[in-house]
Chain A
Amino acid sequence: MSSAEHKKMRTCSVLSPFGGQGKTTVVLLTARILEQQGYNVLVVDGNPQSDLSRLLGVIPGRKDDTLLDLIRYDDLAPMEVMYPVEGHPNMRVIPATSKLSEANQYLASLGMGARVLRMRLEPVADIFDVCLIDAPQQDSQLTLTTIGAADSLIMPAEANVKGYQALARALELYAEQKKLGGTQAELLGVVPFRDVWVGYNRTKDCQKWITAMTSLLDGNEELMLPSIRQSEVIKKAITYQTALEEDENLRFPFDKIVEKLTHASSTQHPTPVASN
């Protein structure tokens, strides 16, 4: 029986065509919370900058298999490119190196590159509950294949003019792909990033841009997820592998993403394994 018949894995791509929009932050901290809750989590570093791999402590050697190999070679088992993450037994990462950009040429030559990553991950769809993909930060074939692999999309965007532009482009890309049949993913939501608060109040500038972002969603406020605040605590959580347990406010947007991911309507709902 094929994996597809037992598919339980929900694949979510975290997408933004610009850098510094919070993609890696969302993937990393969401993955940690999911893993803490007992889910089997697969994290895919789709960005040639390979920040996610480095932050997870997985730095492939010159001869090690990475996402590039998985994309290129259809006879390479996905299990062979999955690396364990220290201190996170229920998490695996498919790492990237700067060479990942070489995949663009290959994907372009296929004419059906948007479907490749989805197909490559299919064999493990019955093992993992959630797969989070850190999409690359440019319009490229790699971006299209990460969109094509997804059941759902999350779009983080800085609460400023650059973030607004990034979101506009990401939504455009998503709409194009949907129209062309390159993806069946649903938009799970937009996460404002680096939201600046002073005391109990959000700054006017951030408020302005978040309102503008909501307008890009045709006013659909349900798609506007809780924002990730500008905070040194979050930076430390990323660097020192903590999971924001001590600050509920800062953790809240990630809890909300987890809730969305694990209760999303399509396909089978992931259920956590019994935690020890």
Chain B
Amino acid sequence: MPDLQELLEAKRKDWATPDDLSEQPSERSAAKSPSSNPPVETAAPSTQRSAIATKQPSAKEPAPKPEPSEGDHISALLTELDTLPPHNSKLTKFIMRLEPQLADRLNQFCAGPKKLTPEMFVEAILLILDGDEEIEDVLNSEAHQDLKPLLTEQRDGLKALIAHVAQQRAERRSRAGVIRRTLSMAGVDVPK
């Protein structure tokens, strides 16, 4: 019989956030399809949480949003991340906004239609940027040539950025436990 620790680990792996992370941020204002809705019992608190999480109204609408020109993804993302409310757990969505195709690939990598948890996403993106062989094979296929520049030219920058953002969020306290553990698994130094 599995011990308590094993049961909890298995449960942790199965855990999916109520937010449908495959939903693109640009479509958030549109009505959610039933399949992308969280379970009924979590719908109400989710709404409330958003209300609390966005206490800084100015943060919701990032003021002068720079046009993310090609090769300027990092600075665009940084601007957005700077305006994030402290308790917003949508790190993944902001990264997805950076590069939808990369997000799609991550979704497939993380067991297809399954919902991604923030820790899975951070882990996956670090893994990909580190050059996981399986992912490299996929990306080397002709269908994904458009992603190659991102992974080759900007790999180091992106990885540093993601680590930096995750560290910042850990310091800000939001989702600290999850992100700190994930970063530590990914071998990134996280200040306590």
Interface positions, chain B 1-22, Cβ under 8 Å from A, are 1, 3-5, 7-8, 11-12, 15, 17-19
The interface-forming segment of B43-51, B75-83, B106-114, B155-163 is B43-51
| Interface residues in A, total, Cβ within 8 A | 32
User: Which of A40, A80, A116 is within 8 Å of B177, CB to CB?
Assistant: A80
> Does B42 make an interface contact (CB < 8 A)?
yes
B176 interface hit (Cβ, 8 Å): yes
B15 to chain A, nearest CB (A): 4
Pair B1/A74 contact, Cβ less than 8 Å: no
In the complex, what distance in Å separates the CA atom of A230 from the CA atom of B34? 58
Q: Please determine whether B4 and A92 come into contact, CB atoms closer than 8 angstroms.
A: yes
Cβ of A92 and Cβ of B89 under 8 Å apart?
no
Does B28 belong to the interface (CB within 8 Å)?
Answer: no
Closest to B178 in A: A80
> Is A82 part of the contact surface with B, judged by Cβ < 8 Å?
yes
Contact assessment for A75 and B18 in the assembled complex, using a CB-CB cutoff below 8 Å: yes
Q: Which of A40, A63, A106 contacts B176 (CB 8 A)?
A: A63
B41 within 8 A of A: yes
Q: Assess the A73–B4 pair: CB atoms within 8 A.
A: no
**Chain A 24-49: CB-based contact to B (< 8 A → 1; otherwise 0):** 00000000000000001000000000
**Interchain CB contact under 8 A, B176 and A74:** no
Q: Is the CB of A61 within 8 A of B192?
A: yes
Residues of B with C-beta under 8 A to A72 = 49, 52, 87
B45, B52, B117, B175: the one contacting A116 at CB < 8 Å is B45
A127 engages B7 (CB within 8 Å): yes
B contacts with A: majority SS: helix
Q: Is the CB of A75 within 8 A of B4?
A: no
* A187 to B: closest C-beta gap in Å: 26
State the CA gap A132–B59 with chains docked (Å): 40
In the bound assembly, the distance between CA atoms of A106 and B170 in angstroms comes to: 22
* A63 cross-chain contacts in B, Cβ below 8 A: 170-171, 173, 176-177, 180, 192
Contact across chains for B8 and A79 when beta carbons are under 8 A apart = yes
The verdict on A64 contacting B176 (CB below 8 Å), with A72-B49, A119-B41 known, is yes
Q: Is the CB of A75 within 8 A of B17?
A: yes
Task: List chain B residues, Cβ under 8 A from A219.
Answer: none
Number of chain B residues whose Cβ lies closer than 8 Å to a Cβ of chain A: 34
A92 to B11, CA, bound (A): 14
Interchain CB contact under 8 A, B19 and A64: no
Asked if A123 contacts B15 (CB within 8 A), the reply is yes
Complex Cα–Cα for A52 and B122 (A): 34
In the assembled complex, A150 has its CB within 8 A of some CB on chain B: no
- Any chain B CB within 8 A of the CB of A110? yes
> Which of chain B's residues have a CB closer than 8 A to the CB of A90?
3-4
Interface 1/0s, chain A 62-103, versus B by CB < 8 A? 111100000011111101111010000110100000000000
A108 CB, min distance to chain B CBs, angstroms = 11
Chain A 95-127 interface mask (CB, 8 Å, partner B; 1/0)? 000000000001001101000100100111001
With A75-B46, A89-B4, A127-B7 in contact, is A65–B18 under 8 Å at CB? no
Within 8 A of B (CB), among A123-149: 123-124, 127
Task: Report Cα–Cα, A77/B170, bound state, in Å.
Answer: 16
Provide the bound-state CA to CA distance between A273 and B1, in Å.
8
Q: Report which B residues bind A (CB closer than 8 A).
A: 1, 3-5, 7-8, 11-12, 15, 17-19, 38, 41-42, 44-46, 48-49, 51-52, 87, 89, 117, 170-171, 173, 175-178, 180, 192
Task: List 10 extra interface pairs beyond A63-B192, A73-B87, CB under 8 A.
Answer: A40-B4, A63-B180, A64-B177, A65-B176, A75-B17, A77-B178, A81-B177, A89-B5, A92-B8, A124-B11
